[in-house]
Amino acid sequence: LSLLEGDVVQDPLLPVAGEIPVRRPVVDEEALRRWEAPVDGWRARAAGAQEHLGGPAVFEAAP
């Protein structure tokens, strides 16, 4: 079962006998760039949440 469309490591963590072995995955730099989310989208999402929640600003909007 895959919860995400892709992975950003060379050798993804997979369950073995119902457990996930503990190890440090190695980041695949090319995959990381391929799946990188646009910064503006996350800023807009954070600003929308901030506006909805009515709390203090947690970041300054980019010019």
- The answer to the question of residue 13 being in a domain is yes
- The answer to the question of residue 62 being in a domain is no
Q: Would you say residue 35 has pLDDT above 70?
A: yes
Confidence of residue 33 (pLDDT cuts 50, 70, 90): very high
- Tokens 């989310």 correspond to what residue? 37
Q: Would you say residue 22 has pLDDT above 70?
A: yes
- The answer to the question of residue 3 being in a domain is yes
pLDDT average, residue stretch 4-20: 89
Query: Domain total for the chain?
Result: 1
For the record, the structure tokens of 13 come out as 């963590």
- The answer to the question of residue 1 being in a domain is yes
pLDDT of residue 2: 61
d(CA 29, CA 50): 32
- The answer to the question of residue 59 being in a domain is no
The string of DSSP codes covering the chain is --SSS--SBSS----BTTB-----PPB-HHHHHHHPPPHHHHHHHHHHHHHHHT---SSPPP-
- The answer to the question of residue 8 being in a domain is yes
Domain span holding position 14: 1-53
pLDDT of residue 27: 94
pLDDT of residue 19: 95
